[in-house]
Structure 1
Amino acid sequence: MGLLKTIFFLVLSYYAFKFLARLFAPFLMRKAAETIKKKAAQQYGGQQREQQQKKSSVKEGETIIDKKPGSQQESKKSVGEYVDFEEID
């Protein structure tokens, strides 16, 4: 009889969890989406403010270069010394 009670409570708790998950899952997903949306807005807003501050400090007609172009010169370093090996019979 104890085994049947245990199985009954396990099945009952499984279906109760399943039912509650269906009730609360949309709410939890909506809450998580709002949190992610707020974080993304804060990050984007911070970048946008920085760009506006840079633009406001530039006078009209002034040219500003944010990055230096990378040098595309070939490397003149020698890779190493060439060694000619001979086969030994």
Structure 2
Amino acid sequence: MQEASFSGLIRDIFYIMIFYYVFKFFAKLFFPIVVKKVVEKASENFQKQQQNAQGNSWQKTPNNDEIIINTANAKKSRETKKVGDYVDYEEID
């Protein structure tokens, strides 16, 4: 069985601090590069989507001038639903 010691606690805190500062250093070094690559990739995907959308809209234009109007639903009148009776309340003094 091991016992906790003050020197072991100090050593562990020292290792945690070293790990923190090394991680912080590498994050400052590599984080801008990683963010730049992600932004470039997203920009490329956006441009590809825009090009595909523009290309598809030009290709899908119909050549005929036929217009179809569905009047089946237009003949039905709207009905208002009654939820309940209106009750007028008066204050009693």
Q: CA RMSD in A?
A: 3.5
Distance 2:36 2:86 in 1: 70
> How much has 1:81 moved relative to structure 2?
8.4
| Unpaired runs of at least 5, structure 1 | 66-74
The normalised TM-score by structure 2 is 0.62
The normalised TM-score by structure 1 is 0.64
Among 4, 8, 27, the alignment partner of 2:10 is 4
Structure label with greater radius of gyration: 2
Q: How does 1:3-82 map to 2 (within 5 A)?
A: 3-54=9-60, 58=63, 76-80=78-82
Identity of aligned residues (%): 29
Highest RCO, 1 vs 2 (Cα 8 Å, sep ≥ 6): 1
Q: Partner letter of residue 50 of structure 2?
A: Y
| Unpaired runs of at least 5, structure 2 | 1-6, 68-76, 88-93
